[in-house]
Amino acid sequence: MSLKARITEDMKTAMRAKEAERLATIRLLLAAMKQKEVDERIELDDAAVVGVIDKMIKQRKDSITAFTQAGRTELADKEAAEIAVLEAYLPQRLDADEIAAEVKAIVAELGASGPGDMGKVMGAAKQRLAGKAEMGQVSAAVKAALAG
């Protein structure tokens, strides 16, 4: 079963179980997926769906930071609950050591050295690690690999 089909089935399950918060989050996800399909005139595969989910999680993390600074803990809690629902659809993530090993392999393959090659290495890392790792962690690993 594709990730997209699984999300649709989960929406139906949430509707039957009357889980309002979970249903709202899944509907937001499906709307974002549909928007991307319409904008780019493509059918999303699992990797593209994971990209949409990653983007939505990043937006919610940014919102949590803003809400926490403004003292709006109830809104921050709502965003955190949405992140929990979205993270259920992500594949198993690589840990920091695995990310560093992958980045070192990419740097070696490209023969990259120094901060000037950051863009080239990040492009290759995005292709290879998309959906498997958070790009913020990948970026930090690339900086460390190119600095050392």
Query: What is this structure's pTM?
Result: 0.77
Domain boundaries, the chain: 3-87, 96-147
**117-145 pLDDT tens trace:** 888 888 888 888 877 888 888 888 888 88
Query: Which pLDDT belongs to residue 148?
Result: 65
**112-123 pLDDT tens trace:** 777 778 888 888
Could you tell me which residue, 131 or 94, shows the higher pLDDT?
Answer: 94
- CATH for 3-87 is 1.10.1510.10
Mean pLDDT in residue range 90-111: 86
List Cα–Cα distances, 103 to 22, 82, 92, 94, 122, in angstroms: 36, 30, 18, 12, 9
Mean pLDDT in residue range 22-47: 94
The second-level CATH assignment, the architecture, of 96-147 is Orthogonal Bundle (1.10)
**52-91 pLDDT tens trace:** 998 999 999 999 999 999 999 999 999 999 999 999 998 8
- Rounded Cα distance between 83 and 87, Å, is 6
